[in-house]
């Protein structure tokens, strides 16, 4: 294990002030400069991904890639996953979503129409 630096995980939590976002960017840059080749950012506690959060995430990604590192976003909430998809951030970030989220995101199975009692009483098939 010579020189291997564990992948740090940063968790964004509310309130997301400009200072919090600046700290994320500087802490992520410091981690990469310290030898981390992969960063994880947990965005599950964020209420919404507004433009300030999105621009910070893109800046962290750009800074990390410039130093040869990768960035993964960890997201479970469907609203966050939808925002990542709508903004096409899912194309530039690695998104780690638990299997449970994928199951919850799947559309419910189609309901089979129920036969009316009258049809059932006469044995008719729908």
7-64, pLDDT tens digit by residue?
789 998 888 899 999 999 999 999 999 999 999 999 998 888 899 999 999 999 999 9
Q: How far does CA 29 lie from the centroid of its chain?
A: 20
Q: What is the pTM of this model?
A: 0.71
Q: What are phi and psi of 44, to 5 degrees?
A: -65, -30
Cross-strand bridge partners of residue 11: 42
Report d(CA 21, CA 57) in Å as an integer. 9
Q: Flag whether pLDDT at 1 surpasses 50.
A: no
Domain residue spans of the chain:
9-106
CATH superfamily for 9-106 is STAS domain (3.30.750.24)
């Amino acid at each position: 294990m010579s020189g291997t630096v564990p992948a740090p995980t940063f968790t964004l939590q509310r309130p997301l002030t400009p200072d919090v976002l600046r700290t994320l960017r500087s802490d992520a840059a410091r981690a990469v400069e310290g030898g981390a080749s992969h960063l994880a950012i947990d965005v599950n506690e964020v209420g919404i991904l507004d433009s300030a959060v999105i621009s910070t995430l893109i800046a962290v990604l750009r800074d990390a890639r410039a130093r040869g590192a990768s960035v993964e976003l960890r997201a479970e909430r469907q609203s966050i996953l939808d925002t990542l998809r709508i903004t096409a951030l899912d194309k530039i970030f690695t998104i780690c979503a638990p299997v449970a989220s994928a199951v919850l995101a799947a559309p419910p199975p189609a309901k089979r129409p129920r036969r009316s009692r009258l049809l059932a009483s006469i044995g008719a098939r729908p």
